[in-house]
């Protein structure tokens, strides 16, 4: 089983055991000048841990996303949480361009830009920086959300570009490791400090400096697990940096065999949020809600073709009420006045209770309010219930 192999490789916390191929960067005792890339709450927690460790850094500069306009007609300005934290800590903040093509030629802030050679039609392929990257210059990413261009990574010495990744790599390489940990019902999770690599060499495939394993509470949601992993990741990062300064830290390559058999964690899409009651068990649906509802609300369709977002989900185990007799097959929904929720039978026969629903182009309402509205629509309301499907009927598309 995959987990047994991973647990043999990773202790609850330690620097990894040495293998035949390890890497130790050039030793220096000078605290690091750090450029920290991030954007969200995970990044903030890691930065807070790093910023408090005054013995490992001399300067920290922050790189994050630019402000963006959201809401109706762009009336709301969205600001990176990391930017707000950095400003409160009096750290310099630099923003990247909005577009990915512009980011590929974006220049690092000083003093790191001295060593960055950008692609140029007139530059030879053998162009090199004027001097070797300084060993006390360090790049750190934590939930940054962008692939770093190769010229940017080459501005740092080997072993001086690190990523804080919230999984026990090589398990869950990709953009959504926390979500997949929850979706799959894993009882163990963890965080890794790894080397950054150019994209062509693999995503999250760099050597591992340290890992910490932890129990995953079965009631965890994305925010609670994210915060726990971020705190552990920040502390683990500081330990790695102290080991680098002491000359004791080394990285270990990821096991190619284990990497090939480990599941990935690609970006979450709207397709992932579609609920199919005919195929999914109640526990699967609840886990999915805990994993992705913060970014993609769980969604189904009514017979009239309207999308319906589901929230406030919980198990319903009572068999005392007549409402359950209406739930003849998976996907049929009916209102239960005793629990004040819409009940739906799932593929395993278990009953899911839904507390709040948001119909297409309407605001979110309680189960009772939605039920009172849908009962008046003949196309949706049949034999005392409503069939909820993962796609609109073909005649409504």
pLDDT at 20: 40
User: 9: pLDDT confidence band, cut at 50, 70 and 90?
Assistant: very low
- Residue-wise pLDDT for 20-50, tens only, equals 456 666 566 799 999 999 999 999 999 999 9
> Considering only 126-130, 196-200, 209-213, 334-338, which range has the smallest mean pLDDT?
126-130
Delimit the domains of the chain by residue range: 32-118+133-261, 270-387
Q: 13: pLDDT confidence band, cut at 50, 70 and 90?
A: very low
CB neighbour list of residue 142: distance below 8 Å, 6 or more residues apart: 36, 37, 38, 42, 43, 46, 47, 163, 164, 230, 233
| % the chain with pLDDT above 70 | 87
Those residues with Cβ within 8 angstroms of residue 86's Cβ, 6 or more apart along the chain or in another chain: 47, 62, 64, 92, 93
Instruction: Name the H helices within 139-255.
Output: 150-153, 177-183, 222-246
- What whole-number percentage of the chain has pLDDT above 90? 78
Indicate the pLDDT class of residue 314, thresholds 50, 70 and 90.
Answer: very high
Given this model, what pLDDT does residue 10 score? 40
Looking at domain 270-387, which CATH architecture does it have? Roll (3.10)
Collapsed DSSP state (helix, strand, coil) of residue 45: helix
- d(C-alpha 255, C-alpha 360), whole Å: 47
Q: What is the pLDDT of residues 127-167, one digit of tens each?
A: 555 678 999 999 999 999 999 999 999 999 999 999 999 99
Q: Write the DSSP symbol of residue 335.
A: E
The arithmetic mean of pLDDT across residues 168-192, rounded, is: 98
Q: To which H or E segment does residue 34 belong?
A: strand 32-38
pLDDT (tens digit per residue) in 275-299: 999 999 999 999 999 999 999 999 9
Answer CATH for 32-118+133-261 from 3.90.1140.10, 3.20.20.70, 3.40.50.170, 3.40.50.970: 3.40.50.170
**Burial degree of 75 (CB within 10 A; 0-12, 13-18, 19+):** exposed
What is the CA 102 to chain-centroid distance, rounded? 24
Q: How many helices (H) and strands (E) does the chain have?
A: 11, 18
Same topology between domain 32-118+133-261 and domain 270-387: no
Banded pLDDT at 62 (limits 50, 70, 90): very high
| Nearest-angstrom CA–CA distance, 107 and 56 | 25
Tell me the pLDDT band of 2, cut-offs 50, 70 and 90: very low
Looking at per-residue pLDDT, the higher value among 131 and 170 belongs to 170
d(CA 363, CA 340): 18
What pLDDT is recorded for position 18? 35
pLDDT score of 72: 72
Question: Whole-angstrom Cα distance, residue 293 to residue 278?
Answer: 20
């Amino acid at each position: 089983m995959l987990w047994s192999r991973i647990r043999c490789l990773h202790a609850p916390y330690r620097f990894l055991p040495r293998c035949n191929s390890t890497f130790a960067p050039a030793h220096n005792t000078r605290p690091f000048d750090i450029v920290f890339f991030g954007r969200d709450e995970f990044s903030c927690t890691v930065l807070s841990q790093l910023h408090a460790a005054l013995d490992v850094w001399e300067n920290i500069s922050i790189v994050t996303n630019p402000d963006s306009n959201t809401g109706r007609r762009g009336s709301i300005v969205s600001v990176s949480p990391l930017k707000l934290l950095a400003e409160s800590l009096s750290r310099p903040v630099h923003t990247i361009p909005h577009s990915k093509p512009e980011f590929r030629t974006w220049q690092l802030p000083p003093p790191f830009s001295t060593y960055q050679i950008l692609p140029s039609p007139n530059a030879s392929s053998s162009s090199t920086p004027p001097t070797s990257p300084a060993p006390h210059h360090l790049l750190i990413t934590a939930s940054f959300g962008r692939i770093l261009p190769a010229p940017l990574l080459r501005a740092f010495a080997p072993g001086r570009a690190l990523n804080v990744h919230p999984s026990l790599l090589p398990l869950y390489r990709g953009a959504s490791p926390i979500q997949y940990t929850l979706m799959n019902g894993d009882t163990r999770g963890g965080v890794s400090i790894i080397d950054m690599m150019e994209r062509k060499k693999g995503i999250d495939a760099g050597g591992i400096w340290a890992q910490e394993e932890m129990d995953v509470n079965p009631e965890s949601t994305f925010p609670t697990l994210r915060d726990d992993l971020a705190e552990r990741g920040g502390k683990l990062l500081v330990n790695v940096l102290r080991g680098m300064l002491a000359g004791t830290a080394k990285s270990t390559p990821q096991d190619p065999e284990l990497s090939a058999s480990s599941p990935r964690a690609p970006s979450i899409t709207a397709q992932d949020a579609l609920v199919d009651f005919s195929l999914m068990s109640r526990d699967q649906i609840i886990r999915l809600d805990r994993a992705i509802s913060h970014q993609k609300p769980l969604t189904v369709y009514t017979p009239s073709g309207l999308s319906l977002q589901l929230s406030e989900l919980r198990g319903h185990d009572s068999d005392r009420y007549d409402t359950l007799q209406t739930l003849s097959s998976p996907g049929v929904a009916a209102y239960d006045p005793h629990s004040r929720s819409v009940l739906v039978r799932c593929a395993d026969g278990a009953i899911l209770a839904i507390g709040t629903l948001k119909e297409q182009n309407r605001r979110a309402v309680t189960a009772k309010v939605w039920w009172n509205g849908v009962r008046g629509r003949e196309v949706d309301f049949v034999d005392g219930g409503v069939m909820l499907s993962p796609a609109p009927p073909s005649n409504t598309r």
